[in-house]
Structure 1
Amino acid sequence: MHDDPFFGLNPYHVALAVIGIVVILARWLPRMVSDREPASAPLMILFGAGAAMLVPGMPLPPDPRESPLIWELVSELAVIMALFGAGMRLDSLRPLAKWGPTARMLGVAMPLTILSVMLLGIGLEGLTVGGAILLGAVLAPTDPVLAADVQVGPPQEGEEHPVRFTLTTEAALNDGLAFPFVYLGLIVAAEGLNPSAWAADWLLRDVLYRIVVGAAMGWVGAKGLALVLFHVPRRFILAETGTGVIALAGVLLCYGSTELVEGYGFIAVAVMGLTLRRVEEGHEYHRRLHDFSESIEHALTAILLVGLGTVLPMLFADLTWAHVGLTLLFLVVIRPLAGWVSLIGTPLDTSSRAVVSIYGVRGIGSIYYLCYAASHLEFVNEAQLWSLVGLVILLSTILHGFSVGWAMDRIREE
């Protein structure tokens, strides 16, 4: 005779049901007041936290501080697909002058942001130098998924206002360009603040070599995939089949092979998306491929955000008022001010400069980088870093998600 009750609560099934309910509610409720998407991100986090505290039998995902690997792998795949999709969105890369604001955001705003966060982390939080550098690097990348409503539209729609172009290209490239600073934080944590011992190696290997190889592998990968999709065999090209699976396989191949030769895979897949979009530009396959990759990234992101929400009560056990102060300074002072200063002298008008400076949503990339660092080195300040990053992601999605509609109306083309 079976002893289990007929209506047993299997924790796994409870989790599936809760994830389904949370994602549906987070996507559906904002439609009551707006047609814009980003508001769903904070709701997934908040509803996930509520489910963890209120739903009986709700299993929790592994604590990222204790078991970072699963979080690292899922967030890595989400970022890969998001970066490739961001590159695919851009219909035109010319004239070269339109890249000016992007170059400023990557070359000026991002280092300023990392430096400012590092100094505040040491001063306000008492972090070690290595931990403070890592915090700056973790918070530097803007999220190409959660900021979708401030980016350009899908391929062949032509929604490429200078603000949208800048935010899209920044999100596509700064995830990879933050990696040298992650390595710098790891090096300082392991070897101490002694630049004479490691600076040359860091510059040559982690900055120059890895970036150049990542960009080159992305270009080669795109050209190879273009041959398979559009040119060989000429009479029965794969692009006519409509499936995105072969392109997804190409993206994974490009990322994996780039990492094998010690290049930055994130840069490679972004460059791959940018380059592949230039081949057979008018072909409808680009739109199908974009939609396919976007569906994957949104599904992975939803799982990660709900999961983050369920572990937030644990992460916030170490939260202090100093964390709150640093988070608010980062979101309302450091990033906006660094962006504003970096864009001085660009053709963007005042409203456009303000939107580009403010709307850098933090999210999945930050989760990945912190998990990556934690899996490679044990940090003294790891609990503090997770509390800070969790709070930054939550408040960033709330502040940016619920104000983005008004902001984009300010710069809407007449």
Structure 2
Amino acid sequence: MGLLGSIWHTLPLSPAMLYLPIGFILGPSGAGLVTLDPYENAELFTLLTEIALLISLFTVGLKLRVPLSDRIWRLPLRLGVIGMLVTSGLMALIGITVFDLPPGVAVLLGAVLSPTDPVLASDVQIHDVGDRDRLRFSISGEGGMNDGTAYPVVMLGLFLLGVEEAQHYGSRWAPLQALWGILAGFGSGFLLARGVVKLALHLRQRYHKALGMEEFLTLGLIAASYGVAHLVHGVGFVAVFAAGVAMRRIEHERSGVTPPSEIIGAVPAGDEPAVATHPEKAPAYMAETVLGFNQQLEHIAEFVMVLLLGIMLSVAGLSLEGALAAALLLLVVRPLSVFVSLIGEQTGRTQRVLMGWFGIRGIGSLYYLMFALQYEWPLAMKERLVSLVLTAVTISILLHGISATPLMERYHKRRLPIVDK
């Protein structure tokens, strides 16, 4: 990818479409060089996918350079909450009626396949910080939100399967607990990141301290916001997304409407400390440096996760059930969930159609699948769920990877030059 990256991005293909077959070839169905059992290694895979997901959530939060009071936030919020619930419910119903799954496994199927990915469909995501295109903003923001909002539904599925650790999600207080988890997660992540970033800027601008080490600031914010959210019984994924949003909000408040790249300007080698401590440039420099580092991490995480998906697919194999689940998810459930979510919102017909198509499944689904496999419930049910989910995610990656570039190019050519208000 280091040698061919610039060429690859000119093709109607996503990098994941290269990593996936390589992983499959490395696995038992190919050369047999790597054998990773998803059942025996579920705890390790949960940790790896969790780290990758946290990196991507912080990155997408840092890209959304729009005030929280702006009405455009209603779009990803509706998709990330209402759309996730509709998707989970419909896929659970399909699991029971079409695939004859037990209720617990059916709910897990719906919950695992409900999160959309904020990374894999790069052509559809926000490219430039401050992009207000409703399609790009909605899909990016939705991917940042629904990875966290799906957690209570996953726990409900585990409760129905009799998992002891999920028993409290079967009580009458479960809806309030889920609501608290989301609100506490967002609030704790936002406030913590805001305090840390303001402290770092204060030390830099007043005392010329806390310079450099943006990579440690990035990883520290991700880890601290995730940990603090768990301490207050919040959803850690929501907290990390909120931490990225908070850092960008501070930069936007200081920089105003001027793009951060224009605020910073050219930085000659050796002048980084002067820019990092400049009264006007420091917030933009910090945010953009952290974003640059995190995007590099994101590329590596994407490679590792999709390679891992290919290896596990080589172990489990593709299934006709999974292909049918993918068809129903992508062609029926996703468009219907977008339609329901956006009732009353002002979006163009083309934008709604593309939102209904670009609901790519990826790292979030892989994480929740591995998370569920950690617990004790019948192996035969686990094997069936793994086959369904891995096949559906694979088909999503391939179809969205092929269609993203041509559809988005056509969208931008046909789109009228209207500025969102």
TM-score (norm 2): 0.83
In structure 2, what is the equivalent of residue 43 of structure 1? Answer: 18
Give the conservation status (yes or no) of the 8 Å contact 1:228–1:238.
no
In structure 2, what is the equivalent of residue 383 of structure 1? Answer: 383
In structure 2, what is the equivalent of residue 17 of structure 1? Answer: none
In structure 1, what is the equivalent of residue 150 of structure 2? Answer: 178
Alignment of 1:114 with 2:93, yes or no, is: no
State the SS of the aligned residue for 1:223.
Answer: helix
- Superposed, which structure 2 residues align to 1:396-407 within 5 Å? 396-407=396-407
In structure 2, what is the equivalent of residue 30 of structure 1? Answer: 8
In structure 1, what is the equivalent of residue 338 of structure 2? Answer: 339
Give the conservation status (yes or no) of the 8 Å contact 2:19–2:307.
yes
- The number of residues matched between the two structures is 381
Distance in 1 between the 2:109 and 2:8 partners?
32
State the SS of the aligned residue for 1:381.
Answer: helix
Letter in 1 for 2:15: S
In structure 2, what is the equivalent of residue 365 of structure 1? Answer: 364
State the SS of the aligned residue for 1:244.
Answer: helix
C-alpha change, 1:51 and 1:27, in structure 2 (3 Å) is farther
Distance in 2 between the 1:279 and 1:196 partners?
38
Q: Which stretch shifts more, 227-236 or 256-265? A: 227-236
In structure 2, what is the equivalent of residue 212 of structure 1? Answer: 183
Give the conservation status (yes or no) of the 8 Å contact 1:84–1:270.
yes
Distance in 1 between the 2:214 and 2:55 partners?
16
Give the conservation status (yes or no) of the 8 Å contact 1:125–1:323.
no
Distance in 1 between the 2:238 and 2:194 partners?
16
In structure 2, what is the equivalent of residue 13 of structure 1? Answer: none
State the SS of the aligned residue for 2:162.
Answer: helix
Distance in 2 between the 1:28 and 1:233 partners?
36
- Superposed, which structure 2 residues align to 1:132-171 within 5 Å? 132-155=106-129, 158-171=130-143
Distance in 2 between the 1:196 and 1:371 partners?
21
C-alpha change, 1:222 and 1:197, in structure 2 (3 Å) is closer
Letter in 2 for 1:163: L
C-alpha change, 1:255 and 1:237, in structure 2 (3 Å) is farther
Distance in 2 between the 1:400 and 1:109 partners?
19
Kindly state the Cα deviation for residue 105 of structure 1 after the two structures are TM-superposed.
Answer: 1.3
Give the conservation status (yes or no) of the 8 Å contact 2:226–2:237.
yes
TM-score (norm 1): 0.85
Distance in 2 between the 1:53 and 1:63 partners?
10
In structure 1, what is the equivalent of residue 228 of structure 2? Answer: 257
Query: Where do 5+ consecutive residues of structure 2 fail to align?
Result: 256-283
Distance in 2 between the 1:294 and 1:191 partners?
37
Kindly state the Cα deviation for residue 343 of structure 1 after the two structures are TM-superposed.
Answer: 2.1
Give the conservation status (yes or no) of the 8 Å contact 1:244–1:292.
yes
Distance in 1 between the 2:169 and 2:350 partners?
45
Task: Choose which of 39, 42, 45 in structure 2 pairs with 1:71.
Answer: 45
Kindly state the Cα deviation for residue 228 of structure 1 after the two structures are TM-superposed.
Answer: 3.2
Distance in 1 between the 2:209 and 2:392 partners?
43
Kindly state the Cα deviation for residue 24 of structure 1 after the two structures are TM-superposed.
Answer: 5.9
State the SS of the aligned residue for 2:38.
Answer: coil
State the SS of the aligned residue for 1:314.
Answer: helix
Distance in 1 between the 2:385 and 2:187 partners?
33
Give the conservation status (yes or no) of the 8 Å contact 2:361–2:393.
yes
Distance in 2 between the 1:50 and 1:191 partners?
35
* RMSD value, Cα: 2.5
- 1:282-320 CA distance string (max 9 Å, x none): 31221111111121122122112112212212211xx54
Distance in 2 between the 1:43 and 1:170 partners?
25
Kindly state the Cα deviation for residue 351 of structure 1 after the two structures are TM-superposed.
Answer: 0.6
Kindly state the Cα deviation for residue 74 of structure 1 after the two structures are TM-superposed.
Answer: 0.8
In structure 2, what is the equivalent of residue 243 of structure 1? Answer: 214
Give the conservation status (yes or no) of the 8 Å contact 1:239–1:285.
no
Distance in 1 between the 2:25 and 2:312 partners?
10
State the SS of the aligned residue for 2:347.
Answer: coil
